[in-house]
A and B are shown apart, each in its own frame.
Chain A
Amino acid sequence: MTALLSIEDLHVAMGPQEILHGIRLTVDEGAIVAVLGSNGVGKTTLMRAVSGIYRPRRGAITFRGTPIAGLPAHRIVKLGLLQAPEGRQIFSNMSVRENLVLGGGDVGLGELDRMLTLFPVLGERLKQNAGSLSGGEQQMLCIARALMRRPSLLLLDEPSLGLAPMVVAQIFDLVQRIRGEGVSILIVEQNARAALRIADHAAVMEDGRIVLEGPAATLRDDPRIAEAYLGGHTH
Chain B
Amino acid sequence: MIDPYYLQQLAIGLSLGMTYALMAIGFTLIFGVLNVVNFAHGEIYTLGAFAGLVLISAAAPPAVAVIFAALAIGALAGFSLERLAFKPFRRFTDEASLKSRAMRESTLLSSLAVSIVVREGLEIGFGSQMQSIPFAYLINTPVRVGPVILVTGDFIIFGVAAAMLVGLQYLLTRTRTGLAIRAVSNNPLGAKYVGIDTDRTIIVTFVVGSMMGAAAGILTGLYYGAVFPAMGFIPGIKAFVAMVMGGLSSIPGAVICALILGIAESMATTFVSSGWSDMVAYGFLIVTLIFFPNGLFGARRERV
A interface residues with partner B (beta carbon < 8 Å): 14, 51-55, 72-74, 77-78, 82-83, 85, 89-94, 98, 101-103, 105-106, 145-146, 149
Q: Are B196 and A14 in contact (CB under 8 A)?
A: no
Closest chain B residue, CB of each to CB of A98: B179
Question: Chain A contacts of B195 at CB under 8 A?
Answer: 73-74, 77-78, 105, 149
In the assembled complex, the CB of B248 is this many whole angstroms from the nearest CB of chain A, namely 14
In the assembled complex, the Cα of A53 lies from the Cα of B193 at a distance in Å of 8
Q: Are B303 and A90 in contact (CB under 8 A)?
A: no
CB < 8 Å neighbour of A93 from B93, B94, B95, B303: B303
Closest chain B residue, CB of each to CB of A53: B192
Q: Are B189 and A103 in contact (CB under 8 A)?
A: no
CB < 8 Å neighbour of B196 from A52, A53, A74: A74
The answer, yes or no, to whether B123 is at the interface (CB within 8 Å) is: no
Q: Are A91 and B190 in contact (CB under 8 A)?
A: yes
In the assembled complex, the Cα of A149 lies from the Cα of B116 at a distance in Å of 46
In the assembled complex, the CB of B193 is this many whole angstroms from the nearest CB of chain A, namely 5
7 contacts between A and B (CB under 8 A): A53-B192, A72-B92, A89-B187, A90-B187, A92-B186, A93-B302, A106-B176
The answer, yes or no, to whether B272 is at the interface (CB within 8 Å) is: no
Question: Chain A contacts of B303 at CB under 8 A?
Answer: 93
In the assembled complex, the Cα of A14 lies from the Cα of B190 at a distance in Å of 20
CB < 8 Å neighbour of A94 from B95, B183, B189, B196: B183
Question: Chain A contacts of B104 at CB under 8 A?
Answer: none
The answer, yes or no, to whether B66 is at the interface (CB within 8 Å) is: no
The answer, yes or no, to whether B119 is at the interface (CB within 8 Å) is: no
In the assembled complex, the Cα of A98 lies from the Cα of B173 at a distance in Å of 9
Q: Are A89 and B94 in contact (CB under 8 A)?
A: no
Going nearest first, the 4 A-B pairs with the smallest beta carbon separation are A77-B195, A89-B190, A73-B192, A91-B186
Q: Are B194 and A92 in contact (CB under 8 A)?
A: no
CB < 8 Å neighbour of A14 from B94, B182, B183, B189: B94
Q: Are B192 and A90 in contact (CB under 8 A)?
A: no
Q: Are B94 and A105 in contact (CB under 8 A)?
A: no
Question: Chain B contacts of A146 at CB under 8 A?
Answer: 193-194
User: DSSP majority for the B interface?
Assistant: helix
Q: Are A89 and B189 in contact (CB under 8 A)?
A: yes
- In B8-49, the 8 Å CB interface with A consists of none
In the assembled complex, the CB of B200 is this many whole angstroms from the nearest CB of chain A, namely 9
Question: Chain B contacts of A105 at CB under 8 A?
Answer: 176, 194-196
Closest chain A residue, CB of each to CB of B303: A93
In the assembled complex, the CB of B85 is this many whole angstroms from the nearest CB of chain A, namely 22
The answer, yes or no, to whether B180 is at the interface (CB within 8 Å) is: yes
Question: Chain B contacts of A54 at CB under 8 A?
Answer: 93-94
The answer, yes or no, to whether B197 is at the interface (CB within 8 Å) is: yes
Q: A74-B192, A93-B303 are in contact. Are A53 and B94 (CB under 8 A)?
A: yes
Chain B contact patch, size range: 20 to 34
Question: Chain B contacts of A102 at CB under 8 A?
Answer: 179-180, 183, 191, 194, 196
In the assembled complex, the CB of B30 is this many whole angstroms from the nearest CB of chain A, namely 17
Question: Chain B contacts of A51 at CB under 8 A?
Answer: 192-193
Question: Chain A contacts of B196 at CB under 8 A?
Answer: 74, 102, 105
In the assembled complex, the CB of A39 is this many whole angstroms from the nearest CB of chain B, namely 18
In the assembled complex, the CB of B100 is this many whole angstroms from the nearest CB of chain A, namely 14
Closest chain B residue, CB of each to CB of A105: B195
In the assembled complex, the CB of B204 is this many whole angstroms from the nearest CB of chain A, namely 14
In the assembled complex, the CB of A102 is this many whole angstroms from the nearest CB of chain B, namely 5
Question: Chain A contacts of B93 at CB under 8 A?
Answer: 14, 54-55
Q: A54-B93, A55-B93, A102-B179 are in contact. Are A83 and B186 (CB under 8 A)?
A: no
Question: Chain B contacts of A55 at CB under 8 A?
Answer: 93
- In B160-216, the 8 Å CB interface with A consists of 176, 179-180, 182-183, 186-187, 189-198
Closest chain B residue, CB of each to CB of A84: B193
Question: Chain B contacts of A106 at CB under 8 A?
Answer: 176
In the assembled complex, the Cα of A98 lies from the Cα of B179 at a distance in Å of 8
Question: Chain A contacts of B182 at CB under 8 A?
Answer: 91, 93-94, 98
In the assembled complex, the Cα of A228 lies from the Cα of B252 at a distance in Å of 53
In the assembled complex, the Cα of A61 lies from the Cα of B277 at a distance in Å of 63
Q: Mark B57-100, 1 if CB is under 8 A from A, else 0.
A: 00000000000000000000000000000000000111100000
Q: Are B189 and A85 in contact (CB under 8 A)?
A: yes
Question: Chain A contacts of B183 at CB under 8 A?
Answer: 91, 94, 102
In the assembled complex, the Cα of A105 lies from the Cα of B197 at a distance in Å of 11
In the assembled complex, the Cα of A83 lies from the Cα of B179 at a distance in Å of 20
Question: Chain A contacts of B189 at CB under 8 A?
Answer: 53, 85, 89
In the assembled complex, the Cα of A52 lies from the Cα of B94 at a distance in Å of 10
Closest chain B residue, CB of each to CB of A148: B194
In the assembled complex, the Cα of A134 lies from the Cα of B194 at a distance in Å of 21
In the assembled complex, the Cα of A98 lies from the Cα of B194 at a distance in Å of 12
Not counting A77-B195, A89-B189, A102-B191, a sample of 18 additional A-B residue pairs whose C-beta atoms are within 8 angstroms of each other reads: A51-B192, A73-B195, A74-B196, A82-B193, A83-B193, A85-B189, A85-B193, A90-B187, A91-B183, A91-B186, A91-B191, A93-B302, A93-B303, A94-B186, A102-B179, A105-B176, A105-B195, A105-B196
